Amino acid sequence: MKTIFEQIIERTIPAHIVYEDELVIAFLDITQATEGHTLVVTKEPYPSIFEVPESVISHLFMIVKKLSLGLKKAFDLKGLNILNNNGPVAGQTVFHYHVHLIPRYQKDEVQF
Ligand code: 5GP
């Protein structure tokens, strides 16, 4: 059974893709906790951080940095939460490694 994110990578289901290379893909989270909420996802369906090779995760976080600057330019954000849940007890719901970029605005009251 393919993960929902594999189906997005394969274009079987639609998503608003904002970045893609050979190792990672980034697209808007369907939920939009705040405007611009983006997921950065490994192309390989590693279930969680425990399985991701160091070379892949270092590349992914370089892209997290670039996309953080991109979000800062695109939106009038005042801050940014970078979040990664690993395992059901940590709140993970999609078992395909991903990092959340959640822009924060002056007046939003979202709690994580
Ligand atoms: P987790 O709870 O595993 O840290 O985050 C999974 C995220 O995937 C959630 O924020 C959820 O809104 C998002 N998500 C689940 N299904 C889809 C989908 O079909 N498309 C997109 N773009 N995001 C999804």
| The predicted structure's pLDDT at residue 53 | 98
Residue 107's pLDDT is what? Answer: 81
Output the pLDDT for position 108.
79
Residue 96 appears among annotated catalytic residues:
no
> What range defines the domain where residue 48 resides?
4-104
Q: Please give the torsion angle defined by the CA atoms of residues 43, 31, 106 and 84, in that order, rounded to the nearest 10 degrees.
A: -40
pLDDT of residue 22: 98
The CATH number covering residue 42 comes to 3.30.428.10
Asked whether the beta carbons of 105 and 77 are under 8 A apart, the reply is yes
pLDDT, position 64: 98
Is residue 112 assigned to a domain?
Answer: no
Ligand 1 atom nearest 92 alpha carbon: 3
How far is the centre of ligand 1, averaged over its atoms, from the C-alpha of 41 (Å)?
11
* 71/34 Cα distance (integer angstroms): 12
Number of structural domains found in the chain: 1
- Rounded Cα gap, residues 34 and 50, in angstroms: 28
Nearest in space to 82 (alpha carbons), one of 17, 36, 18, 19: 36
Polymer length of the chain: 112
Q: Cα(90) to centroid of ligand 1, in Å? A: 15
Q: pTM here?
A: 0.96
Identify the segments of the chain with pLDDT beneath 50.
Answer: none
